[in-house]
Amino acid sequence: SDQPLVLGIETSCDETGVGIVRGTELLADAVASSVEEHARFGGVVPEVASRAHLQAMVPTVHRACADAGIALTDVDAIAVTAGPGLAGALLVGVAAAKAYSLALGKPLYGVNHLSAHVAVDLLEHGPLDEACIALLVSGGHSSILRVPRVGGLELTELGATLDDAAGEAFDKVARLLGLGFPGGPLIDRAAREGDPAAIAFPRGLTGSRDPAFAFSFSGLKTAVARWVEARERAGEPVPVADVAASFQEAVVDVLTSKAIRAAREAGIDYLLLGGGVAANSRLRELALQRCQQAGIRLRVPRPGLCTDNGAMVAALGAQLVAAGATPSELDIPADSAMP
């Protein structure tokens, strides 16, 4: 095949991800997570994450090569998440990518984590030569983006959260319900036994005078906390499944309605979901239902490709190689605040 063989490295948070792709074909997706080490702290501890990346980096690269059935020397390019993310965590991946690039004599591509969350869909659904709206929802970001070309670098933000990211809200509510960390998957599971209409939690920024594509989740989180506190004060049991389901419904209702509105107003036929929260089963279900009603085509990668991984970085790297993009210099910084 004349498609570029690209190794992608992702270390922006607590997942050491190494993916290998040939063009838009996924060959390997090795992920080592330090999530267990953070669980007892109730959140990701940056220093713990950095050290775990350092330990997992080389073994994960070797595992990915073995899974793909390639030798490291076969790769045409190395791609790496250069930002945004945790500074120390990013640094480990960027340093490793530079070392592989230099040692193998292959070009380096430093990429944006959010662009990679969008590009990963190419591995699942193939090229899309039309503009799409992307709803990017993770632990650090919640944005609605206009994407002229999936696998390109130009993303226009139409709106973003004014306070907490959607994943952050899931994690905080899970903590106050005593479910553990990370909260997203735990709420997702608890909600299956609950009634999403049990409690009418607020839908932030959905008034007619509110910004159409901005989000706010901190008021929702506070509303859940107050509701739970009132129950406890009254000495009544907290119906965890109902609270989880009602909270989740409030989040995914707002996310899907605003994203679909963005697509309709822009006359765009495709909605793409990405980021860890896009693994949420209710978000996927409601997005599909509302897209079908609105005549919009939904593209959402399988859950394992929504949460952080190296394949998404490799997927974007392969697009850059194919487009003849200029490689990064070997002294590129890890940019924790990359826009």
Q: CB-wise, 242 or 308, nearer to Zn ion?
A: 308
Name residues contacting ligand KG4, limited to 101-140 (CB under 6 A).
138-140
Question: Which pair of tokens denotes residue 120?
Answer: 């990963």
- The entry of Zn ion, ligand KG4, none near residue 317 (CB within 5 to 8 angstroms by kind) is none
Per DSSP, what are the bridge partners of residue 156? Answer: 146
Min CB(244)–Zn ion separation in Å: 22
The Cα 264–Cα 259 span in angstroms is: 9
Task: Give every CB contact of residue 175 below 8 A, 6+ residues apart in sequence.
Answer: 42, 181, 183
The C-alpha atoms of residue 195 and residue 293 are separated, in whole angstroms, by 23
Distance CA 318, CA 23 (A): 5
d(CA 28, CA 73): 16
Return the bridge partners of 5, or none. 22
Between residues 168 and 242, which has the closer beta carbon with respect to ligand KG4?
A: 168
Looking at beta carbons only, is 138 or 328 nearer to Zn ion? 138
Residue choice 185, 301, 308, 319 for contact with Zn ion (CB under 5 A): 308
What is the radius of gyration, based on Cα positions, of the chain? 20
Q: Which amino acid is at 278?
A: A
171 labeled part of a ligand binding site: yes
Residue 327: C-alpha distances to residues 80, 89, 108, 219, 316 (Å): 11, 22, 6, 43, 13
Stretch that binds Zn ion, among 59-67, 136-144, 222-230, 323-331 (CB under 5 A): 136-144
Token pair belonging to 83: 């930002």
Q: What is the per-residue binding string for ligand KG4 in 265-284, x denoting contact by CB under 6 A?
A: ----------xxx-xx----
Q: Is 139 annotated as a binding residue?
A: yes
The answer to the question of whether 242 is labelled as a binding residue is no
Of the pair 13, 65, the CB lying nearest ligand KG4 is at 13
Give the span between the Cα atoms of 111 and 90, in whole angstroms: 11
46-68 helix and 87-104 helix, angle to the nearest 10 degrees: 30
With CB under 6 A as the contact rule, which of the stretches 143-151, 184-192, 265-273, 290-298 interacts with ligand KG4?
Answer: 184-192
Q: Tell whether 309 is in a known binding site.
A: no
- Give the integer Cα–Cα distance in Å for 301 and 188: 17
Give the residue closest to Zn ion by C-beta. 138
Task: Confirm or deny that 138 is annotated as ligand binding.
Answer: yes
Q: Is 140 labelled a binding residue? A: yes
Q: Closer to ligand KG4 by CB, 19 or 23: give it.
A: 19
For residue 167, give the nearest of 334, 315, 14, 316 by alpha carbon.
14
Q: Cβ 303 to ligand KG4, closest distance in Å?
A: 7
Residue 224 makes contact with ligand KG4 by CB under 6 A: no
For ligand KG4, give the closer residue by CB, 5 or 94. 94
- Asked if residue 307 binds ligand KG4 (CB under 6 A), the reply is yes
Count of positions on this chain that bind Zn ion (CB under 5 A): 2
Chain contacts with Zn ion (rule: CB under 5 A): 138, 308
Summarize the annotated binding site for Fe cation as residue ranges.
Answer: 113, 117, 308
Residues at the interface with ligand KG4 (CB under 6 A): 13, 138-140, 167, 170-171, 182-185, 188, 275-277, 279-280, 307-308
